[in-house]
Structure 1
């Protein structure tokens, strides 16, 4: 498999991971929110209002925004030979997966991201080692891009969740039930 092919798989791996979150996050939070409040009150105070208030479709809007950016950057990296930039993005994703693994260990049970985190981990490690072995990436530039990408990914998360909240508000207005006479319900 060429480096370009390996790099091109990244958006697919990302989406497989996100599908688990899209499908499982809302029901998991509904079931485990009270336990999270008891066991990790500081975390629950941040996570539950942020994610628990979003519908699955609104959360998906955030994922789509991230996917489009990741896909554009991946294919730009392939087209222009920006392997260190791409490796930095992959390292940021790898860090994200490691955080999920840590969260699951702390929770001591299933979390709605662990299965695909464990499945994506070997791809991330293999891709980084394959690019390094081929000489396509260097430790210094990759480390710099990794730090920059991690910061930008987490800053973008706030933008993506802001878009999701705006979508939620718009959908609430656009698809609000109407009375038989066409007026909004009271």
Structure 2
């Protein structure tokens, strides 16, 4: 299977776990009065969280199709690296809060799978060109997250 089409499947592993466990986890954290953790979590309904995940997935599919159509592995690998950094952030959250964070388990699995994809194609891709796309990818992600959070809380 083409590398362009595999990553969205890997991405959804993590997102499905988040979607399934986030609402209950947030309610539990807020009920336990864990002020340190509860203050960092915005109020969001399961429906709105699912809509956010759907929007992110649609954006990823658009990026995937664009990269596949233009044969731009550099930009696509920058997206995969940014995703891996996102998963490392979740691992850091779990360590800091000393417990499970929704998306952690399948995030770790998807981190391994996404890293394997990168390793498989490493000989075909210039690391310098991939890292050159990282600032653009980070900007797209940050702008998207800010926009979607504003839209959801509108």
User: 1:170 corresponds to which residue?
Assistant: none
User: 1:65 corresponds to which residue?
Assistant: 55
1:164 aligns with 2:122: no
1:14 aligns with 2:11: yes
**1:18-73 CA deviation, whole Å, 9 max, x = no partner?**
11111111111111234541xx3xx643x32x2xx211011111111111111111
- Alpha-carbon offset, residue 147 of structure 1: 2.9
Q: After TM superposition, what 4+ stretches of structure 1 lie above 6 angstroms from structure 2?
A: none
1:25 aligns with 2:15: no
Tell me, yes or no, if the aligned pair for 2:79 and 2:134 is still in contact at 8 Å: yes
Tell me, yes or no, if the aligned pair for 1:94 and 1:121 is still in contact at 8 Å: yes
Tell me, yes or no, if the aligned pair for 2:10 and 2:114 is still in contact at 8 Å: no
User: 2:113 corresponds to which residue?
Assistant: 123
User: 1:97 corresponds to which residue?
Assistant: 87
Tell me, yes or no, if the aligned pair for 2:13 and 2:107 is still in contact at 8 Å: no
How does the TM-score come out when normalised to structure 1?
0.76
RMSD over aligned CA atoms reads 1.6
Gap regions ≥5 residues in structure 2: none
Counterparts of 2:23 and 2:146, CA distance in 1: 19
Counterparts of 2:21 and 2:47, CA distance in 1: 13
Tell me, yes or no, if the aligned pair for 2:15 and 2:53 is still in contact at 8 Å: yes
1:146 aligns with 2:143: no
- Alpha-carbon offset, residue 16 of structure 1: 1.7
Counterparts of 2:70 and 2:61, CA distance in 1: 14
Counterparts of 1:35 and 1:8, CA distance in 2: 42
Q: Aligned residues, how many?
A: 153
SS at match of 1:9: helix
Counterparts of 2:55 and 2:104, CA distance in 1: 22
Gap regions ≥5 residues in structure 1: 167-186
Counterparts of 2:91 and 2:33, CA distance in 1: 19
Choose 1 or 2 for highest CA Rg.
1
